[in-house]
Structures are given as C-alpha cells and as structure tokens.
Amino acid sequence: MLDPFATSGVSPREFPPDFVWGAATAAYQIEGAVAEDGRTPSIWDTFAARPGAVRRGETGEVACDHYHRSTEDVALVRDLGVGAYRFSISWPRVLSGRDGALNARGAAFYDRLVDDLLAADVDPWVTLYHWDLPQHLENAGGWPARDTAERFADLAAAVGDLLGDRVGHFITLNEPWCSAFLGYGSGIHAPGVRDGAAAVAASHHLLLGHGLAVDALRATAPGARVGITLNLYPVTGVDEASADLARRIDGLQNRWFLDPVLLGTHPADVVADLGPLLPDGLVRDGDLDVTSRPLDFLGVNYYTRHVVRPSAYPGTNAVEFGHRDLPSAANGWEVDPDGLTEILVRVARDYPSLPLVVTENGSAWADRVAADGTVDDPDRLAYLATHLAACARAREQGADVAGYFAWSLLDNFEWAEGYDMRFGLVHVDFATQRRTVKTSGEWYARFVGAAREILTP
C-alpha cells in the first residue's frame, strides 16, 4: 500500500512506538483573565502596558481566553489525537502576593485542567516557568537577584504538591536564554531591562533556580520525570572571517546553558568572552553542582539557524544576522530543517546520553480565513513535515529523539509581536474566540493517528 505521507518526505513508520506526540502552549500567551481569581500582575502585564513595548500596544489581558475556555481547548487537543499536551503554570496565578501562599482559586484551574486532560487520554507535560515572573519579585530584584532562585523552588514545591500525583513530566524552565538576554540584556522582552551584567547574573540564577526546582520536584513528585527546555540553534558564520564570532555566539546561545546543566561547568572561552560582565562572587561554591542535578530528559526548542557576520561598523561588538536565500516565515526566520538535525545530533554527541524531546517547533505564516471558514496553510504543513523528517534523520544518526511538540496548539499572544504572528495548528479569531483547525492541524492529526495505528501491536 502506498504510504500516504511519502510525498511529504517523512513517514510515521520512522518513529518508535513510545515516541511522544504533542502540542504546546504557554500561560501568558493563551490564558487571559489576568486579574481574576487572585492572580497578581506579572512582568509581562507590566511590560505590555508600556507604550511601544508590544506591537500596537497589544497585551495578554484576554489572549485566547483559555482560562474560561479550557474545556473547549482540551477537546481540540483530544481531537488532534496527540498523546501529550505541554502547558505552563502562571506563577502569579498559583502563588499570590509577597508571602508566596498558595492561591487556591488559581491552583484549582490547573487542577481541573490536568483532570480534564487525563480524562481525554492526554498526558500533561507541565512547564513551571514560561517567562511570567510575578511583578513583586521583579520589584525585589528579579532574576538578577539570587533570592529569586529560592522563590522559584517554592513554586516548584507548590506545583509538585498540587499536581505531582497525576503529572508524569515536569519542565523547570522554558528558554532561560530568552528570559536572561532578551529580558535583561536587549530589553525587547519583559521586564525590558538593558544591562549586560544583569543579563549574565539572571542567566546564572535561572539555572540555579532550575536545579533547586529539580530538588523540590524530586521531593514532592518522586514519580515524575523532570527536565529543562533550552532553545538551541546551530550558529554558522557567513565566511571564514566570521568563525570566531560564530564561536562566541554559539557559546553564549548554546554552551552557556548546556554546560552548567549537563556537565556542571562553565565553558572557559565564554567566561573569558564575558570578562567583567561575569563579576566575582556571582557563582558560589556548589552552585554548579546544583545547576547540574541529574535529569530525565532535555527539552530542545528549535525554529531556525543563526547565520552571523561581524557588524558593518568597525570597532563595535555588534553582530548582524544574515540569510542564505532559504524560504522565510512571516517573522523572517529561515526555514532550515537541517539545523534541527544538526543541533540534536550535536547534543547527543557532545553531552551525556539523555532522551531529547523537541518541546517547541513551528512557524508563523500570514494565514487567511477562506469564505467557507477554512484555513489552508500549506507552508506550515510543509514546515512540520520537513522538521519531523529532520527528527527522523537525527534518530538515524544516533540521537535519542523521544518526542515532538508542535508549536503551537493555538494562535496566541506572540510576546513583543502581539497578535501578528500566528503559529497555531488552530486558528483563533481573537474578536470572537472562534477556533478553527487549520490544514496543518488536520495533517498533523492524521500523521499522529497513522503513527499510532502502525505502531499499535
């Protein structure tokens, strides 16, 4: 019989029976209800309210209204046929105010969500932190302050107590590079700080908080599997003259996070590159033992490759990100599935053996709703197919790729881009909150369904 997926370059037969198929979201991007049931402000509420911070001044105040429509959205996940759904906990919804007490009403939302997912035969994968630090903790110093790592451990313990009897997979942090260097370095993400030293301090305290959270989850949810999600990208110089620049960018983007988590060290060349931005006393004795707590899996978020060249302005440290004449998504990111294979194989080769789960992978396109209400998105479908094929190639080359989560289940609030960039398998009309499964979502559902049918004994 002709394989119906052969023309897309990937077959469900290329994945093992225990492969995890999923879709992913994040709390601030979909939940809305930012002032309901005891939720307090986060840094993203504050940042989005700042004039000019987010395109057209849009905010996550309503977003996809998931807080009120979670039952509908769980049904969408069930109908896609995926076996897993990755979502994040809103820290200011679960722990209220400066005392860090459990907010029972906010906690009840996640309690119900997990029960609904399990009733739909969907495995919940819970991310503890997807960028929505409570504003009162930012006021006290934020991630550049060491105490925030301890407060994050409090969140992990609370969520472990709340959900650990039913949740089998926890992810501590999502993309700490973004939290540190976009939030405190360039300032294009919340909290909008531009301070290189603060960004480096934040990067260390995020990973310290990760290790402390692993300890808290091991204590409160001993049966769960625990990991972290890093956004990893191959870094390529445009020419030989760009080789050292590529090394520096790779060091700060990838190895600055991989090495403390998986090796318990800091890469010496990056320490040298950072110089005075890495102050004495930031890393204390025993810290790297904490950041490298043993994990059960590593989450990898991948969207594109970084292609770099030195700035056209001599004497500056600026970097220009180039292109290689590949197709680009609506946000300008090149479509480069080979980069996903490359980074997965590299991690498997250079670091201790660990299952790798692609916890985010997706693309933004200028979707249009047809007159009949359908949303045909062939570019996103092709992106999914070629990147699933990239995962299969990585497995062939020895990487233990154990799962794949499409980003995203829903069109949502895309951070500083507001609602312009649509990544969803499901189209959301933000005026009416109507959900429509796109062609890509239908294809993904058929692919996952075929995988289950082929692999079921």
pLDDT digits (tens, 9 = 90+) for 275-299: 999 989 999 999 999 999 999 999 9
Instruction: Tell me the percentage of the chain whose pLDDT exceeds 90.
Output: 90
**Distance between CA 137 and CA 145 in Å, rounded?**
9
Burial (CB count within 10 angstroms: exposed 0-12, middle 13-18, buried 19+), residue 443: buried
What single letter denotes the amino acid at residue 403? Answer: G
- Give how far the C-alpha of residue 53 lies from the chain's centroid of Cα atoms, to the nearest Å: 21
Architecture (CATH level 2) of domain 6-451: Alpha-Beta Barrel (3.20)
Active site residues: 175, 360
**H-helix or E-strand containing 123?**
strand 123-129
Whether residue 187 has pLDDT greater than 90: yes
pLDDT at residue 324 in the model = 82
- What are 42-75's pLDDT values in tens digits? 999 999 999 999 999 999 999 999 999 999 999 9
| Model pTM above 0.95 | yes
Helix 147-163 × helix 104-119 angle, to 10°: 50
Confidence of residue 456 (pLDDT cuts 50, 70, 90): low
pLDDT at residue 334 in the model = 95
DSSP SS3 for 93: helix
Contact 60, 29 (CB under 8 A): yes
Question: Looking at residues 85-107, what average pLDDT do you find?
Answer: 94
DSSP SS3 for 410: strand
The total of other beta-carbon atoms located within 10 Å of residue 329's CB is 20
Annotated binding-site residue? 387:
no
Annotated binding-site residue? 253:
no
Q: What is residue 416's DSSP assignment?
A: G
pLDDT at residue 97 in the model = 76
Contact 179, 185 (CB under 8 A): no
- What are 364-375's pLDDT values in tens digits? 999 999 999 999
Annotated binding-site residue? 414:
yes
**Hey, CA dihedral for 384, 356, 89, 194, is it positive or negative?**
negative
Out of 14-18, 340-344, 398-402, which region has the weakest mean confidence (pLDDT)?
14-18
Question: Looking at residues 237-261, what average pLDDT do you find?
Answer: 94
Contact 407, 390 (CB under 8 A): no
**Distance between CA 95 and CA 267 in Å, rounded?**
35
Residues 6+ apart with CB under 8 A from 87: 24, 25, 26, 27, 113, 124, 125, 126, 127
Contact 348, 400 (CB under 8 A): yes
Beta strands in 334-408 (DSSP E): 356-360, 401-407
Compute, in degrees rounded to 10, the torsion defined by CA atoms 103, 106, 108, 111.
Answer: -110
**Distance between CA 343 and CA 363 in Å, rounded?**
18
- What are 325-351's pLDDT values in tens digits? 899 999 999 999 999 999 999 999 999
pLDDT at residue 88 in the model = 99
Averaged confidence pLDDT in the chain:
95
Residues 6+ apart with CB under 8 A from 137: 148, 151
Contact 356, 298 (CB under 8 A): yes
Instruction: Tell me the percentage of the chain whose pLDDT exceeds 70.
Output: 95
Question: Looking at residues 437-447, what average pLDDT do you find?
Answer: 97
Contact 151, 184 (CB under 8 A): no
